[in-house]
Structure 1
Amino acid sequence: MCARTAPHDAPALVLIHGSAASARSWDALVPMLTGSHRVIRIDLLGHGRSAKPDGPGYATSDQARRVGQALDLLGVKQAVIVGHSSGGVVATALAERRPELVTALVLINTGPSLDAFIEAGSAAVGLTQWPPADEQIRRFASTGFSRAGARIPQQLLDEMRAMTYHTLTATMQATTDYLKQQPLPERLAVLGKPLLVIFGEDDRRWRSSSAADYRVVPGARVELLPGLGHSPILEDPQRTAAPLLAFAEIHAAASTAR
């Protein structure tokens, strides 16, 4: 499922959410991006208003393939692709599968490899029921913010509860499997795509210092946002949008010039 805004002929900016989220996680950013871009938001399979089938199909490569198909249906020939958290893993897979479609990439708090994962802060859901109770979801979501005890938006509770146990575990396992195969910086270094990495410096899921690993990608820019955690798109949309928009405008213009 996808949602779009702004004129059809504006440069395309595609937003891909992370695990246990949906296209709604970008709500606060979208008004800051639509002035100069055709913003397209994707609900990955198993999330939001997309289907939630049992069985296979949640592999990262499959998610990337469906994003590409959605953009084909919308007539998008080139786009700047933005991914938050595991959405950045899907964005990377899309660039590998469809390099002609991807003008540039923006990864927001996307861990470069499993070595960067902060296991002690992973907040195991401890599921004893499905759908989970609010308190279970809050424990799961708490490390998505810069400080313990942060208020968890109601929409996050609703989005996770709308998933199934299978869709949640399958999508999280798919991200792990993809990172096991090869770290993202190694994958991106050979693609030659302009790259911006934005990282909340107080991320409690992935070591923010690991953002430096992306510097192996030629020309990569890394922006650390002090005081923000794993979800800067929710904690401070304006600070997150500023470098994203500047980068997207440069590379959208470069694409148009070609």
Structure 2
Amino acid sequence: MTIVTKRRLLIAGAVVVGLLLVNTWLVSQQSAEATGKPTMAVDGSDIYVQQDGPPGAPPLVLIHGLAASTRSWDAILPLLTTSHRVIRIDLLGHGRSAKPAGDGYSIPEQGHRVAAVMDKLGVKHATVVGHSTGGVVVTSLAEQRPDLVTSIVVVDTAPRLDAFVSSGFVGSLLYYPVIGQLLWRLRTDALVRSAASTAVSRAGFAVPQAVVDDASGLTYHAFTATSQAGDDYLTERPLPDRLARLGKPLLVIFGKDDKRWKSSSAALYKVVPGAQVEVLPGLGHSPIMEDPPTTAALMLAFTQLHHD
């Protein structure tokens, strides 16, 4: 064998190895996107996505609320994956998604990213579920891309701003930049847990550590920008008016003892033709955590009625 032949074989071997490595990387990337477990690049930001359940089952997209993450759905998840392909997404600024210091937190932008993730995953249409601020995001998603949305579920989502229950003097100080940033830096695990306790009302229910961790991991900018974005969206037009225009099947779930939003405001959603409104006694702002079986039963019965 000549030196030239040996060199050609070495080069050919290197090319083959290189192609195999590239192929392995591509396969791993495609596999990662298929499972929905890593982040996806959407409009220049990394968005965390997780999928569970049978790949061929009807898709169910779950969007968390302010200062939360995909982990908000952990307790209810096993009850949904028996019949659905469940897709959970961390909104920009939350959980394991990017937390940029600049713009990008408006509700339409958040809704656009959810649509982009669905497109990347090949989801043609789905029931979309939003908890609290997540309900505002899925409404915006449906406004922008009605083709992707079969039906809508909102859980303890404010219909309009006057349904807000005061967060008290200290809570209001968070929204004054200088004072708010100082308070944010001084927060402790105990203080975060105390603030998070308003998310639940069920007797004897302890706030999960994941809820505390999610809130602690949020940046001050992401928190205030997302909160302001939700306020702006509701100020522009109340949610029931937006949903009525969409003409999509709607399920509203509200904890009767919600400490953040007046549960009586759930009745405002009845202006949406055919809306199903369920107020659950003994529960607070987070029925998805406080009573997963009851909440899941309502959601699954609804999706069974309204599917393509």
TM-score band by shorter chain is over 0.9
Gaps of at least 5 residues in structure 2 are 1-47, 175-179
**Correspondence 1:186-225 to 2 at 5 A:** 186-225=241-280
Contact 1:3 1:40 in 2 (8 A): yes
- Kindly indicate whether residue 107 of structure 2 is the aligned counterpart of residue 52 of structure 1: no
1:137 corresponds to: 192
**Correspondence 1:115-126 to 2 at 5 A:** 115-119=162-166, 124=171
Q: CA deviation at 1:149?
A: 8.7
Alignment partner of 1:19 out of 55, 66, 84: 66
**Correspondence 1:91-102 to 2 at 5 A:** 91-102=138-149
- Kindly indicate whether residue 86 of structure 2 is the aligned counterpart of residue 31 of structure 1: no
Letter in 2 for 1:130: R
**Correspondence 1:104-183 to 2 at 5 A:** 104-119=151-166, 124=171, 127=180, 128-130=183-185, 132-146=187-201, 151-183=206-238
CA deviations 1:96-153 (Å, max 9, x no partner) are: 0000100000000001000111125697175524272113212321211116996322
- Bigger relative contact order, structure 1 or 2, given CA contacts below 8 A and separation 6+? 1
- Identity of counterpart residues, as a percentage? 59
Letter in 2 for 1:113: R
* Secondary structure of the structure 2 residue equivalent to 1:205: coil
CA deviations 1:44-71 (Å, max 9, x no partner) are: 0111110011110000000000000000
1:248 corresponds to: 303
* Secondary structure of the structure 1 residue equivalent to 2:147: coil
* Secondary structure of the structure 1 residue equivalent to 2:199: coil
Residues 170 and 36 of structure 1: CA distance in aligned 2, closer, same or farther (over 3 Å): same
Q: Output the CA distance in 1 between the equivalents of 2:211 and 2:157.
A: 19
TM-score (norm 1): 0.93
Contact 2:202 2:290 in 1 (8 A): no
CA deviations 1:80-110 (Å, max 9, x no partner) are: 0000000000010001000010000000000
Residues 148 and 226 of structure 1: CA distance in aligned 2, closer, same or farther (over 3 Å): closer
**Higher fraction of helix:** 2
- Give RMSD over aligned pairs: 1.7
Contact 1:131 1:164 in 2 (8 A): no
- Kindly indicate whether residue 137 of structure 2 is the aligned counterpart of residue 90 of structure 1: yes
- Equivalent pairs counted in the alignment come to 253
Q: Output the CA distance in 2 between the equivalents of 1:120 and 1:162.
A: 21
Contact 1:111 1:206 in 2 (8 A): yes
* Secondary structure of the structure 2 residue equivalent to 1:222: strand
Q: Output the CA distance in 1 between the equivalents of 2:65 and 2:167.
A: 20
CA deviations 1:158-177 (Å, max 9, x no partner) are: 11121111111111111111
Which range moves more in the overlay, 82-91 or 130-139? Answer: 130-139
Residues 161 and 120 of structure 1: CA distance in aligned 2, closer, same or farther (over 3 Å): closer
Larger Rg: 2
Residues 249 and 140 of structure 1: CA distance in aligned 2, closer, same or farther (over 3 Å): same
Gaps of at least 5 residues in structure 1 are none
Q: Output the CA distance in 1 between the equivalents of 2:253 and 2:58.
A: 21
Q: CA deviation at 1:224?
A: 0.8
